[in-house]
Chain A
Amino acid sequence: MKLLITIYQLKNLEKLSVYADGFLIGSDQFGTRLTKSFSDEEITYALKQTKALNKSLYLVCNQMFNDEQLESFEDWIQTLPISEFSGIIVADLGAYRVLERMGYSNLIVYNPETLLTNAYDFNFLADFDIQGVFVAKEITLEDIIYIGNHKKYQMFMIGHGHLNMFYSKRQLIDNFMYFTESENPYHNRQDLKIVEENRKDDPYPILEDQAGTHVFRSQVLSSIDHLTELRAFVDYLVVDTLFKDDDYAFSILKMYQDGKEDLNIKNQIQDKYQEVWDEGFFYKKTIYKHKG
């Protein structure tokens, strides 16, 4: 199982490479929920650096596209040395089709967030010679293990971070600020949260970026206690550091590479970043039907 991590500053690539097997990077033209939007020059630089460090680099292009955006995406892909990337993460089957037509099927990693919740659906692109897919975040560890034992291509999984739970195309903060007759200095800010009146202990991070508005879980998912099980079938475990920084990435990576929770470091991190860790849906079964 390889560890992939997001990054804020490219100057930290080498430092993080001590523990990371690879990196996720993207531009807000085509990616969303990014730690930072990197320019084409920065992306090309990261590619060279990661190659020199013998690390993977995945290009995150996880927006939902309309036809016009897909054309721009195709044009942009042609400007990059795309075959040198380890993979391209897409959330939209339209982007998959474009990359397939361009001959990059083997680079495609499909991440539809919530949709791949059973073994059949997880494998439904297996005949298309793509690299792999992300398993859904909202299922139990038992379900993930079952899917992992029946996988037909590589399994990617978010292993640590604030899981996103809402993706609207609307600029919801901008609309709200307009409604309150105020300026909007909050676009692309990573220090915003929304608090529901009956859940005041659970402030949810919210991010408005180029692609829309996103809401995230309050707690940080940690899979540190399950690495032994996950290693049996997860090919790439992603640590998403959105809302944190590269120091956070370094500490978390070290712990995950060590393969066990260091209570001291964990407490320091939770204190510094004011966060609570939990196990997401690993042991939380969602209700199929509400009898209302």
Chain B
Amino acid sequence: MIELLAPAGDLEKLKIALMYGADAVFIGGQNFSLRARASNFTLDDIYEATAFAHQRNKKIYVTTNIIPHNEDMDGVIEYLQALESRHVDAIISASPFIIDMALKHTKLEVHLSTQQSVTNSEAVNFWYNHGITRIVLARELNKNQIRQMIPKTKADIEVFIHGGMCMSYSGRCSLSNNMTDRDANRGGCAHSCRWSYELTQSGKSVSDQMFSMSSKDLEALEQIPFLIESGVKSLKIEGRMKSLHYIATVVSTYRRLIDDYERDLRIDNYDSYLIELQKAENRQASHGYLEGLPGVEQQLYDKKSEQPSQLFIGLVQDYDHETQIATIEQRNYFEVGYEIEIFHPNGNEQTFILDYMTDEKGEITQVARHPQQILKIKVPFAVEPYAMLRKK
């Protein structure tokens, strides 16, 4: 069965990702990981994460995917051994040093990060022969090239299906290093490729419009059946810095799509999945390279953000079946009288009109205006912890 792999920037997001349908979650530790601005996990967090995942027969992978400089080498072995002792299922790495230390000093499974930009079966097999069991392919391959590679290797293949796109071959870009001194391969990418530029020839502007290299995000709903049939082992969602609601929505949507396809062996209409994704998506999306070399339709010239079609307003903490009172944590403003959709971890959705709410002191209130305020509301059907409230 194909794996659905999700990102998480903290423990709460990790639990949400697993509860909403991910088979595995990748996280960054506090050392040797890119995405420095994601709230990276302590070793204690990682231990809690693996315990939570393994109870549910799911997996945790830790990114150790920086390209280290000489000064960054100390402590790698100890850190990898600490990950092993926290029962991490695999690490995701790009540097031969980190890879070799893991293979030599631990029994950790090693996955090759997309920072190595592997684009062909020969390179896949180079790394497989090196002891790496799974390769995260470069995003620059179309779906047919992916399919043709798989019979040529014993390595497991992981493919990106959703989220932000590096505009350069991953790992080979130093725009950020040069323009901001922030090291893209050591967790500091400033996303300079998404900025606006003037394109000039011999000092004269060639257009009155601003040049952009920026890409729409990847969204591969319609390619999922093809990738499953091709023998891809893992489908990866990108975005360790994304919100709780985004992760729940995207994971749940792809979970439902994968399950529907594996049950029926066909998907007749993708509209319902797309509508679901749009409840949390705030960037324009396209299929990236999966249908061929990206043209103008895959570029992002209009930088306007899109509003998610639904607003995430609260997270369920508890539910009393006798009183039908749910304890919730507020995430966005709402008030009595709103039509609210409950988004369950199993992907189901139910709606109701909010007619009763009390605050922390037990006093009846009409509005929930404070972030992370704990409130009690009446919900006329059973809800479970980690269910989400959306404003319809």
Taking CB atoms and an 8 Å cut-off, the chain B residues in 57-86 that contact chain A are: 67-73
Residues from chain A with Cβ under 8 Å of B269 in the complex? none
A168 touches B195 (CB 8 A): no
A226 interface hit (Cβ, 8 Å): no
- B69, B94, B192, most chain A CB atoms within 10 A: B69
CB-contact partner of B177 in A124, A193, A286, under 8 A:
A286
CB-contact partner of B197 in A94, A139, A189, A195, under 8 A:
A195
Residues from chain B with Cβ under 8 Å of A94 in the complex? 118-123, 126
Q: In the bound complex, how far is the Cα of B203 from the Cα of A195, in angstroms?
A: 10
Interface string of A103-134 (1 = CB under 8 A from B): 00000000011110111110010000000000
A120 touches B96 (CB 8 A): yes
Interface residues on A, range: 35 or more
A196 interface hit (Cβ, 8 Å): yes
Residues from chain A with Cβ under 8 Å of B100 in the complex? 120, 124
B171 touches A114 (CB 8 A): yes
A201 interface hit (Cβ, 8 Å): no
A118 touches B149 (CB 8 A): no
Known: A112-B172, A175-B299, A179-B301. A67 touches B121 (CB 8 A): yes
Known: A66-B145, A118-B72, A118-B97. A196 touches B179 (CB 8 A): yes
A289 touches B36 (CB 8 A): yes
CB-contact partner of A70 in B117, B122, B198, under 8 A:
B122
A146 interface hit (Cβ, 8 Å): yes
A279 interface hit (Cβ, 8 Å): no
- A182, A195, A281, most chain B CB atoms within 10 A: A195
Interface string of A165-176 (1 = CB under 8 A from B): 111111111011
Residues from chain A with Cβ under 8 Å of B73 in the complex? 118, 120
A287 interface hit (Cβ, 8 Å): yes
B126 touches A121 (CB 8 A): no
Known: A64-B140, A112-B172, A113-B172. A166 touches B193 (CB 8 A): yes
A176 touches B207 (CB 8 A): yes
Interchain nearest-CB distance for A131 vs B (Å)? 17
Residues from chain B with Cβ under 8 Å of A177 in the complex? 207
Taking CB atoms and an 8 Å cut-off, the chain A residues in 148-177 that contact chain B are: 163, 165-173, 175-177
- B95, B120, B149, B212, most chain A CB atoms within 10 A: B120
A92 touches B295 (CB 8 A): no
A197 interface hit (Cβ, 8 Å): yes
Among the 9-residue stretches B182-190, B310-318, B353-361, B362-370, the one with 4 or more Cβ atoms under 8 Å from chain A is B182-190
A114 touches B295 (CB 8 A): no
Known: A194-B200, A206-B199. A290 touches B119 (CB 8 A): no
CB-contact partner of A115 in B36, B168, B171, under 8 A:
B171
B296 touches A139 (CB 8 A): no
A199 interface hit (Cβ, 8 Å): yes
A168 touches B70 (CB 8 A): no
B145 touches A176 (CB 8 A): no
B213 interface hit (Cβ, 8 Å): yes
B186 touches A286 (CB 8 A): yes
Q: In the bound complex, how far is the Cα of B187 from the Cα of A177, in angstroms?
A: 33
Residues from chain A with Cβ under 8 Å of B206 in the complex? 186, 192
B174 touches A138 (CB 8 A): yes
CB-contact partner of A170 in B71, B149, B294, under 8 A:
B294
A287 touches B182 (CB 8 A): yes
A75 interface hit (Cβ, 8 Å): no
CB-contact partner of A196 in B37, B117, B195, under 8 A:
B195
A217 interface hit (Cβ, 8 Å): yes
CB-contact partner of A93 in B72, B122, B174, under 8 A:
B122
A114 touches B172 (CB 8 A): yes
Residues from chain B with Cβ under 8 Å of A137 in the complex? 174
Residues from chain A with Cβ under 8 Å of B145 in the complex? 66-68
Residues from chain B with Cβ under 8 Å of A180 in the complex? 207, 209
A196 touches B197 (CB 8 A): yes
Known: A97-B125, A114-B185, A286-B182. A165 touches B175 (CB 8 A): yes
B103 interface hit (Cβ, 8 Å): no
Instruction: Supply 13 A–B pairs (Cβ within 8 Å), ascending by A.
Output: A69-B120, A94-B120, A94-B126, A97-B123, A121-B96, A168-B167, A172-B167, A175-B295, A176-B212, A186-B206, A193-B200, A195-B198, A289-B36
Interface positions of A (Cβ within 8 A of B)? 64-70, 92-98, 112-115, 117-121, 124, 137-139, 143, 146-147, 163, 165-173, 175-180, 182, 186, 189, 191-197, 199, 202-204, 206, 213, 215, 217, 281, 284-292
4 new A-B contacts at CB < 8 Å, known A94-B126, A95-B122: A70-B120, A120-B96, A121-B68, A172-B167
The 9 closest A-B pairs by CB, nearest first: A94-B122, A286-B183, A124-B96, A194-B197, A94-B120, A289-B36, A120-B97, A94-B123, A97-B122
